[in-house]
Structure 1
Amino acid sequence: MNKQIIFNLAVKDLEKSRAFFAALGFGFNPQYSGEQSAFMVVVEDSIFVMLMTEAFFRSFIDKPLAQAREANEVIICLSCESRAELDDLIARASAAGARIPHPPEDHGFMYDQGFEDIDGHLWNLVWTAPPA
């Protein structure tokens, strides 16, 4: 079995979050989804996100739930295959209601920009130039 990354994100409104991420082109696996969670496929066979209602998320923890609009614990970074893919994802995120906290940064060898999803989670998209 290949190693996989599955991370859990608490969301205020599961259906709105599903719609937001579907607008970015991410799919969902109904086999692992239900009324309290949605299993989102970011990269087939390797990267997944379990979107969980806040109540369901709280059932797994024994400390307060951080409110992503008020404080951040993590920035989720996702690599892109091209600058065009990065720009397209940013445009789709913005159209779906994301906040874009800063303009793209072009470092020559690396290009990046981020967005804040509708629950306040920070996502950073990055493209790196292939070695010369």
Structure 2
Amino acid sequence: MSRMIFVNLPVTDLAVSMNFYKAIGFENNPDFTDDTAACMVLSETLNVMLLTHAKWRTFTDRPIPPATSSEVLLALSCDSREAVDTMNNLAAENGGTKDINPPQDYGWMYSHSLADPDGHVWEAMWMDPTGIPERG
């Protein structure tokens, strides 16, 4: 059985966040969506749960970090360098921020970091495993 991951993220505006994630390639699963939460699916094993602040607080009383902090950086693999650029640009066009960190280009690996409307950090990345330098 494949293991699944559900990344839970507190969001300020559920509709804005849902639109952002749809724009960068996620699909909504209406079975796990209501006016307090939305399940956004990237693959059969990766789901992002967008939770209103009120819903988030039913899971933990730990403080929600401000949008200017980085509690985690989540890397998403893309099929090509062009797909990395597309995701980064779509983020900026849909309420997020592109290039929150300098882009990285190692030839065999290429990435851009972006943030969703609430400041959650994602890294769109492409890698050619055949180009990984040998360790010596």
> When the two structures are superposed, what TM-score results if normalisation uses the length of structure 1?
0.91
User: Once superposed, what is the RMSD of the aligned Cα atoms?
Assistant: 1.3
Task: State the alpha-carbon separation in 2 of the partners of residues 70 and 12 from structure 1.
Answer: 14
What residue is the counterpart of 1:14 in the other structure?
14
Unaligned runs of 5+ in 1: none
Which residue identity does 1:56 align to in structure 2?
Answer: K
CA deviation vs aligned residue, 1:80-108 (integer Å, no higher than 9, x gap): 11111111111111111221224532111
Alignment equivalent of 1:83, drawn from 63, 66, 81: 81
- 1:2 Cα deviation from its structure 2 partner: 1.6
Unaligned runs of 5+ in 2: 132-136
The equivalences for 1:1-132 within 5 A come to 1-43=1-43, 45-67=44-66, 69-100=67-98, 101-131=100-130
Task: State the alpha-carbon separation in 1 of the partners of residues 62 and 48 from structure 2.
Answer: 21
Task: State the alpha-carbon separation in 1 of the partners of residues 83 and 107 from structure 2.
Answer: 17
**Distance change (3 Å), C-alpha of 1:13 and 1:82:** same
Runs of 4+ in structure 1 displaced over 3 angstroms? none
State which drifts further: 90-99 or 118-127.
90-99
Secondary structure class of the residue paired with 1:113: strand
Which residue identity does 1:5 align to in structure 2?
Answer: I
> When the two structures are superposed, what TM-score results if normalisation uses the length of structure 2?
0.89
- 1:65 Cα deviation from its structure 2 partner: 2.1
The question of whether the paired residues in 1 share the 8 Å contact of 2:77 and 2:125 is answered with yes
Secondary structure class of the residue paired with 1:123: strand
Q: Percent identity of the aligned residues? A: 38
